[in-house]
Amino acid sequence: MNVGLHLCRGNFRVRIIFRLIPGRGKADGGTVGHRNGLHFSEGGYDRIAIKLFREINVDCYYLEYDTPRAGTFEPLKHLPAHKAVVLGLISTTTNALAMPPKSSTAKATPKSGRKPGQKRQKAAPKQPLPVADRLKRLFTSLCAQIDGGHFANAIKTCDKILRLEPRDPDALQTKLFLLLQTDQYAAALSMISGEDAQGDGHAFEQAYSLYRLHREDEAESVLEKLKAQEQAEDRGVVHLEAQLAYRQGHYQTAVDLYNQLLDTAEPVSVRFPHL
């Protein structure tokens, strides 16, 4: 008998939704982030690779590799020769179309039409676009990059916007979301603490970042403040509180909180089976 082990990463997300104002990438304002919330299970297999592949007595592994949060293939170097692995490369949980890699074929360089000895005429210098037009173009690119999951490029676009408008609220909010999405929790905390004028309006994101950085006491303190602000019934807050309780060894508290989430979840919702 062969024994296989599947590592389910889970798809429960804390949804972070914010709006772009009309004319900034989406004609109607729209939303950004509604399909790409924060997973409570993220990160590659690197930390557990040796124990997973060399110490667990199974014959085959079924690993999810259909999203960037699964990390690289580097951990597979620890797989012994007598074991097998099946990689899940195509997602069944999203309707986004997987695009093939771009062709690397070089385009032919057009030949110059100048006659021998003829000097190249200097092109007239281009006039820089007004700041408003540059911002509109950048926000259009930003929306496309987020919709396509190109978060690293989207962060760079946010930085370009912030160089033009350092206090732009849409760019700041988007950059914070992207930092969390790409596991850059220390940088996210830096924004939230005020270095980028984020202020006090992101307490949940602060608690989540502290939790991911294993600063449990600080995360618990921020959660208590959120609950005091009448956000105790917020599902994201409850779920984070449950995760924190489990990590701290308060297992009965974690069970009670998860039961609370199950009791209030719609049975037909996507989140119900994940809980």
**pLDDT digit string, tens, across residues 210-250:** 999 999 999 999 989 888 877 667 888 888 999 999 999 99
The structure tokens listed for 63 are: 């690993």
Q: Is-contact 242 265, C-beta < 8 A?
A: no
| Residues present in the chain in total | 275
pTM, two decimal places: 0.58
| Listed range (35-49, 155-169, 230-244) with the worst mean pLDDT | 35-49
pLDDT in tens, 169-194: 888 988 998 998 888 999 999 998 87
d(CA 198, CA 187): 12
Distances (CA, A) of 162 to 23, 33, 96, 146: 17, 19, 29, 17
- Which pLDDT band, with edges at 50, 70 and 90, does 196 fall under? very low
User: How confident is the model over 100-128, as a mean pLDDT?
Assistant: 62
Q: What is the CA angle 125-126-129, rounded to 5?
A: 150
Beta strand 84-88 pairing with 31-32: unpaired
* Complete DSSP assignment for 206-219: HHHHHHHTT-HHHH
**Is 90 exceeded by the pLDDT of residue 160?**
yes
Q: Which fold has domain 200-275?
A: 1.25.40
Q: Which of 137, 211, 145, 200 is nearest to 178 (CA)?
A: 145
Dihedral of alpha carbons 145, 149, 153, 157, sign: positive
Q: Which residues of 103-138 are buried (b: 16+ CB within 10 A; e: fewer)?
A: eeeeeeeeeeeeeeeeeeeeeeeeeeeeeeeebeeb
Where are any strands of DSSP class E within 65-124? 84-88
Percent of the chain predicted with pLDDT > 70: 69
* Average pLDDT in the chain: 78
- Cβ atoms of 61 and 5 within 8 Å: the answer is yes
